[in-house]
Amino acid sequence: MNSLQYWLGGSSDNLENFLLMISKAYVPALADMKMEIAEPVTFPDLGIWHPTAPTMYTDLKEYLNWYDTRKDMKFAKDAPVIGVVLQRSHLVTGDDGHYAGMVMELEARGAKVVPVFAGGLDFSVPVEQYFFDPITKNAYVDTVLSLTGFALVGGPARQDHPKAIDSLKKLNVPYMVTVPLSFQTTEEWQDSTLGLHPVQVALQVALPELDGGLEPIIFSGRDSKTGKSHTLQDRASQIAGRAIKWASLRKKKNVDKKLAITVFSFPPDKGNVGTAAYLNVFGSIFRVLQGLKKDGYDIGDCPENEGDLINSVLNDKEAKFASPDLNIEHRMDMKEYEKLCIYQESLHENWGPPPGNLNSDGKNLLVYGKKFGNIFIGVQPTFGYEGDPMRLLFSKSASPHHGFAAYYTYIEKVFGADAVLHFGTHGSLEFMPGKQVGMSGVCYPDLLIGNTPNIYYYAANNPSEATIAKRRSYANTISYLTPPAENAGLYKGLKELKELIASYQGLKDSGRGPSIVNSIITTAMTCNLDKDIPEIPTDGNTDAKDMDMDLRNLIVGKTYQKLMEIESRLLPCGLHVVGCPPSAEEAVATLVNIAGIDREDEEITALPQLLAQSIGMDIETIYRANDAGDLEQVQRLQDITEASRIMVGQYVSTVSDPSGRLAASAIGAFGSMFGGASVALPWGDALKGTQFSEIDVVASRKLFDYLGFCLTQIVTDNELGALTEALNGEYVLPGPGGDPIRNPKVLPTGKNIHALDPQAIPTSAALASAKVVVDRLIERQRLENDGVYPESIALVLWGTDNIKTYGESLAQVMLMVGVKPMPDALGRVNKLELISLEELGRPRIDVVVNCSGVFRDLFVNQMNLLDRAVKLAAEQDEPLEMNFVRKHALLQAEELGLSLREAATRIFSNASGSYSSNVNLAVENSSWNDESQLQEMYLNRKSFAFNSDSPGSGMETKTDIFKSALQTVDLTFQNLDSSEISLTDVSHYFDSDPTKLVQSVRKDGKMPASFIADTTTANAQVRSLSETVRLDSRTKLLNPKWYEGMLASGYEGTREIQKRLNNTLGWSATSGQVDNWVYEDANDVYMKDPEMQKRLMETNPNSFRKMVANFLEANGRGYWETSEENIENLRQLYMEVEDKIEGVK
């Protein structure tokens, strides 16, 4: 037993005595030697430790008796109490210097501490035992600060997140998880652009985030000589300051709390203040202010409505960001700035001495915004280099200008904010330069945010960038819902086409059949559908009566299939207002799409499959025939779609009150409402008398029970509630971000968004989905290229997409090169298995992978896996015509004088701490001269390579290999995985598109093919880029349902319309895949209609002016050919709107 006690004691004395004891017992030569062997010194497995305490305590009362009678420290009566979580192993081995340093720092700042420890890996036990007041049973501590770097329950291998969340919710205080350096010395971390080692990011940042952990700041390092831990003083100071500020939110009365609400203006043009993805920012702020007022906050003379709020913040709601039209809340003179902003000298190298010419009047730095009592609504300055093409071209990363620094200096040190609320997706703070994760005291996000708690409203569908905000700006990210989705529907000629097809189906065997087909062909050409349907004759001389029935049916079937693709496409309508969940009726389209996906984990069969099975068919067979244009099966799929909508619609109306809201009595009753022996069906009489009346009732009930759960989640609102919790210094429940259709667990919103365990992807389900897409992509290109396989594919990996799909596009890359990712015994995907050429059935396709900066930050271990996969393929001794990876790598090795492994470098991104190619900024600001300048930006900023042979070294410049690899690219490829974000919704997609760049570097100057995979529905599609742009334009920019929904949101909706037009222009610039008719039809909709002009002018004149400028630019750059009359009309419009903005009558 003594042996065990020595071992469990773990201290150096115990281990010394342990060795002496076993030596005496088992080494014959030492048996008679006299030895002084002390008894084991035992330490409690669970307890409270303090560096100056005489002993370890196992009772909170005993600890407090000692603590409160200390002579060396005196604390204020209302001093914040920080609960600190430690690892027992460090305490018993005497390696506790870093813990002592952190405790001393907290106490030096006036905080009391309760440092607890556990011997195992379940830290929820000491949390529950020692962090509650033994008398009141309420939380005794005001903030929990974990110094373990691990999840609360479990180590690196396995965790119990539900148990951790349950413990933390009971305690209900902010939960910070800091990180000790384990795989790097202090010097290695300081010198690294990457920051924290990738293994630690996966284990000690990503996993604690699943518990709701905040602020992964490094607090300790390791001595390179002794290996002992030591506190990093400046980091400990930052952590202590922030922990105490979170704690103070629990102590301070609401009437005294100061909140800085920060809105964004991007791009920095007139009409863009209050930019955020799918969010009505000022409408949301108005609701937040009303909620704060009810909670006792001082909101001063806050305006009574949203419109007055916009005007009071901006003076002129179409204010140009850099103009005096914006309200100036504070003028910071140079003496104040230089005194308060301790890091301002480091900005001189990029921006010169202050004040500079950004956010400046030449003498002072200007803080734009407006104060209402204790609430400041401020406008975050922009990066500052958007209008400068040379700075865009050559900067590896941005750096904050003096105006940006002055803004955050004002918030913390002049206004004295208790918290800052960043409003909407997303700003610039978290993308400022510095280490990727585990920042130092000279990284700009760390310097800018200072000690101010950061609360951040972030779109639920964007967990990747939300995670960047968590890790780099220390944000407590609160999710908000995107607007309710609707089917795009049909309009104008498209609607007419559907009616013609219905007529044809009734009369196709009569003499009128051919003439109806002629009308279908003519109308389809008028709608420009001939670009998508090659079967449509375009010579103008073809008569349908000369066709056989099969060809007529094929043309009509293909046209019908394309119409249904447009009609059923989901699009978010309008803009979301925080705290306004959709009604049950508004959720119908979302529920139909949730019902459209098989969910193996829940053993739920998708509704389209259940309907197909009821008529003796399989949905996959119907999908394939529909895609081929089989008229009978196109109609069958449309019948299934209509039946799904009617069933779900009937169900929702049953559980809704007359206003369309979910009936109060229905909440929580879904499980039993229609279950058991009940005769009533959830979908009522929706299928009565139809071909689907024999549907499997048991399986369908199970599906509708699940839809009931989803409906309660959709209409539940905690967006304002979560903000209240954060401002009260409470624990905000964590939850995954992503697509609510794929993963309804994203709902309800109002959760502290996290991503996922990065070691868990790609999953086996993602691998299966990826294979479908890769097979269809390669086969389509082969068929369109005379049977020749593509040799190399350039593709983009996005952080959010891989979180939503659990690694589908990651798996696609591996399957292209013929390698399969494999999990280890613990389910961590870190192994590779080569797929034989026999099993693959085709050559290994080479790849050039460009990872977004966000993907690079979140998935460093997966980049490692990808690089290993490509190099594994390159090293196979196989025929070159069957292994294009090896073929190209051998050529590059010879040309560039490299080893084969180095020549097989294919995984690229930005430099560490840098994001985007800046092509989007140049396009948005029209600050580029020609396309070669955009291509040079892309090459300069995206040619940093990852090397699995030195994974901790960060990204290295490899421009020559990048260009060389692009020279062999035959097609470019991206994925669309969510109905909420498509090609023209955001600028990221064209910003990362290398299509024209590939053409410019290829020796033959050939334009590569461009494809987009669309996995937004169960029937995955691979379309050309031009097809996808046309589909996007028809369903959004040109669709009355979409633009009327946007115009209903006023000022911000008009800006959203302009943004889609600008992004369309971006696609012309990077790919040349935008048809002339898209601009022509958009001009007809927005510029030729006097009533539309008036609406756009009245809601947001500056966004309207930008739209006019976009059309003129598209024409000037050769992307749109149109009549001189149209151009003259646009020039005249531009002058008129300019006069209105300038106040000329």
Residue 908 has pLDDT above 90, yes or no: yes
Tell me the per-residue pLDDT of 696-747, one tens digit each, with 9 for 90 and over.
Answer: 999 999 999 999 999 998 888 899 999 999 999 999 999 998 888 888 888 8
Residue 365, SS3 per DSSP: strand
Distance CA 1026, CA 531 (A): 9
- Please compute the mean of the pLDDT values over residues 1050-1066 and round it to a whole number: 90
Distance CA 72, CA 1043 (A): 68
Report CA 605 to chain centroid distance, whole Å. 29
DSSP states of 105-171 as a string? HHHHTT-EEEEEEESSSBTHHHHHHHSB-TTT-SBS-SEEEE-S-S-SBB-SS-B-HHHHHHHHHHH
Distance CA 1054, CA 504 (A): 40
Tell me the per-residue pLDDT of 324-334, one tens digit each, with 9 for 90 and over.
Answer: 467 889 999 99
Residue 322 has pLDDT above 60, yes or no: no
Distance CA 326, CA 368 (A): 6
Residue 454, SS3 per DSSP: strand
Residue 972 has pLDDT above 50, yes or no: yes
pLDDT of residue 665: 52
% of the chain beyond a pLDDT of 70: 92
For 368-406, b/e burial (b = at least 16 CB within 10 A) is bbbbbbbbbbbbbbbbbbbbebebbbebebbbbbbbbbb
Tell me the per-residue pLDDT of 334-347, one tens digit each, with 9 for 90 and over.
Answer: 999 999 999 999 99
Residue 389 has pLDDT above 70, yes or no: no
Residue 240 has pLDDT above 90, yes or no: yes
Residue 323 has pLDDT above 70, yes or no: no
Q: Among the residues of 361-487, which ranges form H helices?
A: 389-394, 402-409, 444-449, 463-472
Residue 376, SS3 per DSSP: strand
pLDDT of residue 803: 85
Distance CA 1130, CA 1010 (A): 32
Contact, 1081 vs 527, CB < 8 A? no
**How crowded is residue 571: how many other Cβ atoms within 10 Å of its Cβ?**
22
Residue 887, SS3 per DSSP: helix
Residues whose CB is less than 8 angstroms from the CB of residue 393 and which lie 6 or more positions away in sequence, other chains included: 918, 933, 936, 937, 940
- Please compute the mean of the pLDDT values over residues 764-771 and round it to a whole number: 90
Per-residue pLDDT band for 1031 (boundaries 50, 70, 90) equals very high
Residue 488 has pLDDT above 70, yes or no: yes
pLDDT of residue 759: 79
DSSP states of 286-320 as a string? HHHHHHHHHTT----S--SSHHHHHHHHHSSTT--
Q: What is the dihedral of CA 360, 365, 369, 375, to 10 degrees?
A: 180
Residue 318 has pLDDT above 60, yes or no: no
Q: Report the first-to-last Cα separation within the chain, whole angstroms.
A: 96
> Pick the residue with more confidence: 658 or 318?
658
pTM, 2 dp: 0.86
Residue 52 has pLDDT above 50, yes or no: yes
Distance CA 878, CA 628 (A): 36
DSSP states of 896-941 as a string? HT--HHHHT--EEEPPTT--S-SHHHHHHTT--SSHHHHHHHHHHH
- Please compute the mean of the pLDDT values over residues 849-870 and round it to a whole number: 89
pLDDT of residue 393: 45
> Pick the residue with more confidence: 575 or 793?
793
Residue 74 has pLDDT above 50, yes or no: yes
Q: Strands 81-87 and 143-146: what pairing?
A: parallel
The partner residues of 1013 in beta bridges, in order of sequence, read 975, 1022
Q: Which of 127-141, 401-415, 945-959 bottoms out in mean pLDDT, i.e. has the lowest?
A: 945-959
Contact, 474 vs 217, CB < 8 A? yes
The partner residues of 922 in beta bridges, in order of sequence, read none
Contact, 527 vs 495, CB < 8 A? no
pLDDT of residue 18: 66
Tell me the per-residue pLDDT of 817-857, one tens digit each, with 9 for 90 and over.
Answer: 999 999 887 778 888 999 999 999 999 999 999 998 888 88
